[in-house]
Chains A and B, each alone.
Chain A
Amino acid sequence: MSDSQVQVLAETAEAHEHVHPPYQRHHFETYAQQNDATNFAMWLFLLTEIMFFGGLFTAYLIFRNWYYPAFVSGSHQLNIPLGGLNTLLLITSSFTMAMGVWCAELRKKGALVLCLTLTFVLGMGFLMVKTFEYKEKIEKHHVPGFHYSLQSFLAPETDEAAMAAHDKPLPVDMARHTEVYFSLYFAMTGMHALHMIIGVSILAFMIVRAQAGAYTTGHVTYVENFGLYWHFVDIVWIFLFPLLYLISRH
């Protein structure tokens, strides 16, 4: 705390008053301190998320290096237009979320609710596309551990996606390693989707609270910190998209 703060505290203590905004917790000396502390706490939490996904990225890089042909064939089974659409949805939702923080800072309640709702809709859109993609994988028996089928890789002529990508048949050994690719695909996108689900749930709660005016009183912290989380989930996808979908299409 600065000197002036000490002076003020001493004076107010004498006056037997300790006035602070209703949204400031008692163990903080000032609202600014609370804001700073909670913001920092959210960044530290995001650090843990970086390291959590880091383990999966490590596994991915190792196996992509070992089984490159299997990873290429595996990624050809993914739909680039859908993946690209998801990327657009998420990037736009990051934009609407950042705009939401701006609205909260300027205390524009209606605009804030609009931005949060758009973010929510875009996030739900992402999840719907993902569900559709997963359904496709399930139908084609490309889910590791659940009657995983090597057919698309041993006989690409029987598979539409493989034909579109001009895949050659893989030797049996390498075809088996496509299961590792799909394990990582589901682990990484699944973990990401889980974070999205948590995100849209919190967004739903926030839209209700925003409508009630909770975030346009000057107390932007909640929206700001959630925004950080949302942007982080976007960043994870920014890496997942090229690593999983765009391995090699030439």
Chain B
Amino acid sequence: MNFLSKEKGLLSWLLTGDHKRIATLYLVSITFFFFIGGALAGLIRLELLTPQSDLMATDTYNKVFTMHGIIMIFFFLVPSVPATLGNFFIPMMIGAKDLALPKINLLSWYLYMAAGCLGLYTMMTGGVDTGWTFTTPLSTHYVNTNVLTTGIAVFIAGFSSIFTGLNFIVTIHKMRAPGMTWFRLPLFVWSNYAASILMVLGTPVLAIAIVLVALERTIGIGVFDPTKGGDPLLFQHLFWFYSHPAVYIMILPGMGVISETVSTFSRKRVFGYTAVAFSSVAIAVFGFFVWAHHMFIMGISNYSTLIFSLLTMLVAVPSAIKIFNWSFTLYKGSITFETPMMYTFGFMGLFTIGGLTGVFLGTSGTDIHLTETYFIVAHFHFVMVGGMLMAFLAGIHYWWPKMTGRMYPEKISQLAALVTFIGFNFTFFPQFILGTLGMPRRYAAYPPEFQILNVFSTAGATILGVGYLLPILYLTWSLKYGEIAGNNPWQATGLEWQTQSPPLTENFPEIPIMDHEAYDYEWLDGQKEKEVASVG
């Protein structure tokens, strides 16, 4: 008896309060949206094989990259780890029966689905072509596409995100098991906590920005219209006030996964637990101070540029602290190369490169040359795809046996991880060079001298696509034919591994008591000895 088999029937899923079922619903939905976003990416790379805009009209190309961005950011990256792995495992990791607000959790998923359906409808009725950044006055005055409906979809998705974050914060504060102090929490919980703070405080500002764009488009209120005395930059301030913290909303949960996998697969406690925990919160706090680094060339004052550039240097420090601590965790650890660890290594290398290029962009002098070029595109794909998506896959593979009770075939999964890594580098590394050479982003046509690098990039994208397709196939296969997994196939610490796979609906037969530190492998070995002794 487990959470999957306890109740049957469609309604028991659609009206569930069980955080694990909601997580499963989310997993299926975000995978669906990921593939739509991925298909759009495929179209982009196909178009960019040739310098001319010959596969599609430039207007269509604008719609394709806009929808790619919107779907990937709002419907895949933002909910990816929190709504699937976070929903599933935060209650278990803290020793609780469920999240604090199960009905709000379900509402979150319904809002996400409503937003997603609205987004799909928008795509099918002409799409939107402003870029995912909805820059004014383009989005308010100069396009005839579905800005309004897309805005509403993003607004609703924003509330889905807010409710998830709110739920996590309440749960982590109020529902920890006896003995589970803050500094005994797995670092996955700390990271999701920090991301949740960003969700709760940042997303409403995006909401109001969208409301103002909607009012400007429909009634013409003029707050962003220079001809009426408005300021287009005001929209950008409000938009980026959310959208910069949004990138931390996306990456922090992934960093949480990495903390877990790097420890388990080097069989060693995370080096500098306190530093990693506090750096998560530091990223969240500092993440609110740097948004105008997306606006250096837009007309903000020189003094703002100076301050925001300086603060951007500061926000890089906590991320670097994490990379150092994970590296020191590896040192003298018993490292094994199971699939989650392969993705983890991929993350650490690619996120480091992506993060460093972020520093180049944060320096306002170099940013003037590099912004709005393919350098930016490469930067954010390195951190989001090389970083976040790899972390997501690491997490899915790591916790798959716990969620489903099945193991996936190891060789194919390791192959897929390798293919993904190779494909990723072929796709996105050339884009750094393209950007430095001056190829602009969001252009369907480009000067012919850039073609060879674009062809490399598209070839890489094909390999990357295979790398992402394989997990869908073998993970689905494993549901029926995979080897049965025990409670703790990786011999990991953490309360979620001390109970059955898949878990019970109420997670634990009785509320566990936490009497050891996090990542305490000695305690785990002690448990095993006790088990062996009791059987013998």
Direct contact of A and B (CB under 8 A): yes
What is the interface of chain A, defined by CB distance below 8 A to chain B?
1, 3, 5-6, 9, 13, 25-29, 33, 36-38, 40-41, 44-45, 47-49, 51-56, 58-59, 62-63, 66-67, 144-146, 173, 176-177, 179-180, 183-184, 187, 191
Q: Which residue of A lies closest to B513 (CB)?
A: A6
Contact with A along B212-224 (1 / 0, CB 8 A): 1001001111110
**Across-interface contacts of A13 in B (CB, < 8 A):** 510
Cβ contacts under 8 Å, B511 to chain A: 9, 29
Chain B residue at minimum C-beta to C-beta distance from A2: B178
The 8 Å CB contact of A180, one of B98, B167, B222, is: B222
Given the complex, which residues of A lie within 8 Å of B211, measured CB to CB?
187, 191
- B101 lies within 8 A of A41 (CB): yes
Kindly identify, within residues 99 to 128 of chain B, every residue whose CB is under 8 Å from any CB belonging to chain A.
99-102, 104
- In the docked arrangement, what's the CA distance between A37 and B101, Å? 9
Kindly state the separation between the CA atoms of A45 and B171 in the bound complex, as whole angstroms.
14
The residue in chain B whose Cβ has the minimal distance to the Cβ of A148 is: B220
Please tell me if the beta carbons of A1 and B178 are within 8 angstroms of each other in the complex. yes
Min CB–CB distance A51 → chain B (angstroms): 4
CA distance A156 to B211 in the complex (A): 33
Q: Which residues of B contact A (CB under 8 A)?
A: 17, 96-102, 104, 162, 166-167, 169-171, 173-175, 177-178, 200-205, 207-209, 211-212, 215, 218-223, 228-231, 234, 237-238, 241, 510-511, 513
Q: What residues of B have a CB within 8 angstroms of the CB of A41 in the complex?
A: 100-101, 104, 166-167, 170
B174: contacting residue among A33, A53, A146, CB under 8 A: A33
Min CB gap B288→A, angstroms: 10
Smallest CB-CB separation from A10: which chain B residue?
B510
A33 to B100, CA, bound (A): 9
Please give me the residue from chain A that is nearest to B18 by CB atom. A27
The chain B residue sitting closest to A26, CB to CB, is B97
Q: Is the CB of A56 within 8 A of B208?
A: yes
Query: In the bound complex, do residue B205 and residue A27 qualify as a contact, i.e. CB atoms below 8 Å apart?
Result: no
Chain B nearest Cβ from A239, distance in angstroms: 15
| A187 and B169 form a contact (CB under 8 A) | no
A208 to B146, CA, bound (A): 43
B200–A40 CB distance below 8 A: no
**Known contacts being A58-B237, A63-B223, is A187 close to B215, with CB within 8 Å?**
yes
Instruction: List 9 contacting pairs A-B, 8 Å CB cutoff, sorted by A.
Output: A6-B513, A27-B17, A38-B101, A47-B201, A54-B205, A54-B208, A145-B219, A145-B220, A179-B221
Chain A residue at minimum C-beta to C-beta distance from B166: A44
In the complex, the answer to whether A1 meets B177 with C-beta atoms within 8 Å is yes
Question: A135 to nearest B CB, angstroms?
Answer: 18
Residue in chain A with minimal CB distance to B104: A41
Contact A187/B212 with A62-B231, A144-B221 known, Cβ cut-off 8 Å: yes
Assess the B205–A52 pair: CB atoms within 8 A.
yes
- Known A13-B510, A62-B234, A187-B212; contact A51-B205, beta-carbon cutoff 8 A: yes
In the bound complex, how far is the Cα of B212 from the Cα of A54, in angstroms?
13
B101 neighbours in A (Cβ, 8 Å): 37-38, 41
Looking at A27, A36, A41, A52, the one whose CB has the most chain B CB atoms below 10 A away is A27
* B219, A59: Cβ atoms closer than 8 Å: no
Residues of A close to B201: CB separation below 8 A: 47-48, 51
Residue contact A51 to B202, C-beta cutoff 8 Å: yes
For B175, the chain A residues whose CB sits under 8 A away are: 28, 33, 37
Q: Please name all residues of chain A whose beta carbon is closer than 8 Å to the beta carbon of B222 when the two chains form the complex.
A: 144, 179-180, 183
Whether A55 pairs with B212 at a CB distance below 8 angstroms is: yes
A3, A9, A45, A63: the one within 8 Å of B166 (CB): A45
Complex Cα distance A5/B258, Å? Answer: 35
Pick from B17, B202, B207, B223: contact of A59, CB below 8 A. B223
**How distant is B189 from chain A, measured CB to nearest CB, in Å?**
16
B174 contacts A66, C-beta separation under 8 Å: no
- Pick from A29, A47, A54, A59 the residue with the most CB of B within 10 Å: A59
**What B residues does A37 contact at CB under 8 A?**
100-101, 170-171, 173-175
- Indicate if the CB atoms of A44 and B169 lie closer than 8 Å: yes
